[in-house]
Chains A and B, each alone.
Chain A
Amino acid sequence: MYEHDVIVVGGGGSGLRAAIGAHEAGADVAIVTKLHPVRSHTGAAEGGINAALREGDDWELHAYDTVKGGDYIVDAPAAETLAQDAPENVVQLENWGMPFSREEDGRMSQRPFGGLSFPRTTYAGAETGHHLLHTLYEQVVKRGITVYDEWYVTRLAVTDEDDPNDRSCHGVVAWDIQTGEIEGFRGRDGVVLATGGDGQVFDHTTNAVANTADGVAMAYRAGVPIEDMEFVQFHPTTLPSTGVLISEGTRGEGGILYNGEGERLMYEYGYATNDGELASRDVVARGELTEINAGRGVDDEYVHLDMRHLGEERIVDRLENILHLAEDFEGVDGLENPMPVKPGHHYEMGGIETNENGETCVDGLYAVGEAACVSVHGSNRLGGNALPELLVFGARAGKHAAGEDLGEPEIPVGKTEGDEGIEESDVDFPVEPGALAASSAVVSGDSPEGVVDAALEAETERIEGLLEKDEGVNHADVRSKIQKSMTDNVNVFREEGAIEEALETIREAREEYEDVSVADKSRTFNTDLQHTIETRNVIDTAELIAMGALAREEFRGAHWRKEYQERRDDEWLKHTMISWNDGTPELWYRPALLEGENQTYEPKERHY
């Protein structure tokens, strides 16, 4: 068994920042990650990082934009913490050497981004994430923080009390991808999940192959409520053939969207007559898809994003990476031609329920980054708001896990009967969601080490079982079935019948998965086994998204419902919560917190 004070699962931006935070607070911290940290998908972020740094801007404006952009089911204390802590975190990155783009006077540059009332998106060319990731990793190396890279975490070591609020987490089980060695990791003071997004649930995504929502699925199965999963962001400008992202920075710098008829669609068809191309992402994505579906797309599939008028100098200075991406992945020269773009899966607003300190309802278990839902993004994340989230809440969770006092959180976690505003859902699912056989990922043990050992034993059995089975279904077939169904049925435009169909398909996939087998029997670098385990996480996550999408009978932010064309504040200013409930999932609601430090955020209509 490996032992540290704090175990961070994941080496992306949020995990690295959490580890640095824990280290700053004096803990012996280790990162366990299935990819080497610099391979994490944070490196793909392009556009920038929001922070109210300059005169004329302040954190309150940033918080306001965030709540409004999220269509009012953001938790105000989370948005305010984000806005307050972002500036110092960005300056800290600068102090750690991050090569930000600069103004003439040598200060960091900022640019406009969709939904922002001030151009506060701080950036490093169109490769902000790459620089952020490498800068943080450099600081991890500098501090001598232990990194177990290419170790795959398959399960948490969580105790098995009936009520998840009484459970505690003592570590994780992981296997060394290179050698096949399986081991328990004890986190004496805490475990921080920083496992990133869930793009592999869909088949056209800006996300990496590694984004399989492992952390969400592991926490879910250990009893932690999962929040607001129906809110999936579809980015309006992805390359049609690969899903590679063309940053919002392109529109921020003045790029224009045209439909197949050469019309400036955002204005021409009234999708956003004020902000045009820079309206919030959900608005632009729906605008484009409506054009395409109405026969006004290009090749029936996409629209055009044109930046030629910006001129070569400006493009090369600020958007050089976009030129490379368009050239390498679509064969288009952005200086000569408009770039083809269409909406694609991009970001999961929902995730593991946490408070402002990253705590979940399970003692000792934290979650941060895209895997978590402290509820900063509500139903629609503003561009440039994920990266500051990684830093702000990553640092807080790391410090808190290491024992630093950050004050009483205002956001509640866990389902406590009788808590104010908690409500059961009466939604009918067409098929029973959840496990086929009784299953949960909790164990009993008489000491923390005992819990880790018991989890290790249970997991060893599961993995050996997968490897011993000779014939069966290939995980790739199950995964692509999920991806296709989710893309057909739970995409930008959603309706009841289609969501139900997706839930049925997910059920079938679960049944097929029962018979899954791993053809590769080798212990050495067995990616077949890894992908097989990931696929179960993809199934759980797809189901969470579809359940939430069916339950939410309104149109809010990224969640559009054919039957309900309005935001319904009287009934739906609440978060969708799903608890695994030992294999028979339960859907319930918790009210959104709109009470801020100095103001209450009154829901207003969103106009762009």
Chain B
Amino acid sequence: MSTQTPDTDDSDPQAERMARKDERAAEREEAASTPDVGDDAITLKVFRYDPEVADKQEPRFDTFHVPREPGITVLDALIYARDTYDSSLTFRHSCRQAVCGSDALFINGSQRLGCQTQIADLNDSETVRVEPLPHREVVKDLVVDMDHFYDQMDAVEPYFSPKEDPDGEQLQSRENREKIKMSTRCIWCGACMSSCNVAAGDNEYLGPAAINKAYRFYFDEREGEDRQEERLRIIEQEHGVWRCQTQFSCTTVCPKDIPLTEHIQELKREAVKQNLKFW
């Protein structure tokens, strides 16, 4: 906020307000420079690992104490810990608003976005345990290798590709847009894949996000029916939709509330319908 006001009246409430603000800022600064983080500080237990650093080659947990600000998220707490105590603490993050999908983490035992998770809302808000996404290779601390996830996405031909190039603006009904709407919200965070038991056991399983991507194009009326068949063939393969055991773990963790299991089920039904047609 600017300290300048457009009017120069000295006796306005602005001066008082700024004084109060400065006071609060000074208090905050003091809190940050001294390790006194208040009586109800959050205990943050963070997974640490670095293949190159001698005392981090064996994975371990480090504990940080973070002041409890109203509305503080897990990502805020990690940033605080990094900037205050240990600049080598490593995690991906960028948008801070649940659109970039960088910071899916394993928080108190479930997959969540750090930036979207308020500590006060956790089952245990005293001690927050933060680990990298399970079933992924850890690169360092909270960073996992995402290449496998990206490969699975690539496998479903994740792009709009009608047989013929459209000529001018295509029409799409509101109903059809509504039909695919939820499926287009995916931010590639990988939470679903990490939560899935089937994916954990079958490295080639396409996984919920990739199948959802296929759903997004399969049901988009603009792409055309001839593509539908080809798309079904991809997701029907050995490591495709039929692997899903409808355990709903992906749907539970998806930060964008995409009904993943339902989408997978619907594609199974489409596949059955198609196969009957060929009979």
Contacts and interface: CB of A to CB of B under 8 A. Distances in A.
B51 interface: yes
Interface string B1-41: 11111110000111001001000000000000000000000
A157 B99 CA distance: 33
B165 interface: yes
Contacts of B1: 204, 289, 301, 342, 487-488, 491
A106 B159 contact: no
Contacts of A108: 169
Interface stretch (A274-282, A292-300, A410-418, A460-468): A292-300
Contacts of B187: 38, 43, 130
B52 A43 contact: no
A559 to B, nearest CB: 13
A329 B143 CA distance: 24
Contact of A293 (B14, B82, B139, B170): B14
Interface string A95-117: 11101111111111000000000
B94 A209 contact: yes
B93 interface: yes
A99 B219 CA distance: 12
A178 B185 CA distance: 28
Interface string B148-163: 0010001001111100
Contact of A41 (B100, B118, B185): B100
A520 interface: yes
B140 A522 contact: yes
A38 B101 contact: yes
A134 B199 CA distance: 24
Contacts of A289: 1-2
Contacts of B172: 99-100, 102, 106
Given A43-B99, A241-B71, A331-B71, A519 B174 contact: no
- Size band of the interface chain A makes with B: 35 or more
A560 B146 CA distance: 46
B194 interface: no
Given A99-B181, A107-B169, A39 B4 contact: no
Contact of A95 (B13, B50, B170): B170
Interface residues of B, number: 70
B93 A209 contact: yes
Interface in A280-321: 286, 289-290, 293-295, 300-301
A522 B53 contact: yes
Contacts of B165: 95
Nearest to B82: A476
A97 to B, nearest CB: 3
Contacts of A329: 97
A328 B13 contact: no
Interface stretch (B58-66, B83-91, B241-249): B83-91
A524 B94 contact: no
Contact of A35 (B102, B166, B174): B102
B139 A525 contact: yes
B95 interface: yes
Given A38-B188, A139-B159, A525-B140, A94 B99 contact: no
Interface string B135-147: 0000111010110
A179 to B, nearest CB: 9
B173 A102 contact: yes
B236 interface: no
A99 B184 contact: yes
A97 B100 contact: no
A560 B222 CA distance: 48
Interface in A188-240: 204, 208-210
A209 B158 CA distance: 28
A95 B88 contact: no
Contact of B217 (A97, A495, A498): A97
A141 B156 CA distance: 11
24 contacts: A39-B95, A44-B95, A44-B99, A53-B169, A91-B168, A96-B160, A97-B223, A102-B172, A105-B171, A106-B171, A135-B160, A209-B95, A242-B96, A244-B96, A286-B6, A325-B97, A328-B98, A328-B116, A487-B1, A489-B3, A491-B2, A493-B6, A520-B90, A524-B139
Interface of B: 1-7, 12-14, 17, 20, 50-53, 71, 82-83, 86-88, 90-102, 116, 118, 139-141, 143, 145-146, 150, 154, 157-161, 165-166, 168-174, 177, 180-181, 184-185, 187-188, 217, 220, 222-223
